[in-house]
Copies of this chain bind each other. A is one copy, B any other.
Amino acid sequence: MSERVEIVEVGPRDGLQNEARAISVTEKVRLVDALSLVGFRRIEVASFVSEKWVPQMAGSGEVLGAITRVSGVRYGALVPNMRGLEAALKAGADEVAVFASASEGFSQANINASIAESLERFRPVLARAREVGVPVRGYVSCVTDCPYDGLVAPEAVARVAGELRTMGCFEVSLGDTLGRAAPERVDAMLGAVLERVEARALAGHFHDSFGRALENVSVALGRGVRVFDASVAGLGGCPYAPGAAGNVSSESLAAFLEAAGFEHGLEIERLRAAADVAVGLWEADG
């Protein structure tokens, strides 16, 4: 039997938050319900950041309340702080995620705090989540390239990833936020991170803005990573701000893993049906 690689579906959250048009709660629910039938064990559906900053994520609580939950699927939400965590728990999130940056410039721009401050902010979130038995994932963004600071040192990524893991994150997802990461630099970054965090607690999160996501998946597979984030239909791929979005599509990733001899556990026909729903969000758009 071939080795298993898990695809974590992040389209309804990371994908839609980067789309220019607003998607209604009803549309999101329809998309999540289609994704629930595909075989994903985890779907990230919501974000409890301020609606002022990411208006596309308004109605996250409603989405979590309205979806038809399928047994065996964990529905996740992004939480920036205690307030976000409480809202996510109230809405019934099965898993939450905190997010830090590997570069100071992006940390300031994205969450208005230094890396150290952001990590301090997550401590009570992790403690409270532990109390209620909700697993916490940690994202690290800008793991090779930062729009403000340029190239990011592998050691900087290792430090943040190690901190998140030590704090209690069951998994650390390493994100090439810009989609500019050269595969050689992803390899060097992983080399440094693996000194602090074991491969089975890592995930790869590669954007495809410059068509490099699958090469980077390849490199990470070679380093022992077996969990990857992806978005159905590559949601997030048509931003008005070039270079900042575009998750690798779940369909491409599944096709690639299959060709490479890994098992992903997804039902392709149902994934295609979910992709049709996602593409359909643009049909009415003209």
Contact = CB atoms under 8 A, between A and B. Distances in A.
Contact of A251 (B211, B249, B260, B279): B211
Contact of A249 (B212, B238, B260, B278): B212
A56 B207 CA distance: 26
A238 to B, nearest CB: 4
Nearest to A251: B215
Contact of A215 (B180, B210, B235, B255): B255
Interface string A217-231: 010000000000001
A214 interface: yes
Interface residues of A, number: 43
A120 interface: no
Interface stretch (A41-49, A60-68, A240-248): A240-248
Contact of A272 (B182, B240, B276): B182
A183 interface: yes
Contact of A252 (B215, B235, B238): B215
A14 interface: no
Contacts of A243: 238, 282, 285
Given A242-B238, A242-B282, A233 B210 contact: yes
A272 B183 contact: yes
Given A215-B252, A237-B246, A252-B252, A210 B259 contact: no
A170 interface: no
Most chain B Cβ neighbours within 10 Å, of A182, A211, A246, A282? A211
Contacts of A240: 240
A234 interface: yes
A99 B214 CA distance: 30
Contacts of A184: 272
Nearest to A242: B238
Contacts of A251: 211-212, 214-215
A255 B276 CA distance: 25
B180 A208 contact: no
A275 interface: yes
A250 interface: yes
Closest 3 pairs (CB-CB, A-B): A211-B249, A211-B234, A238-B242
Given A20-B242, A212-B251, A218-B259, 5 more contacts: A208-B211, A211-B232, A212-B234, A212-B252, A214-B251
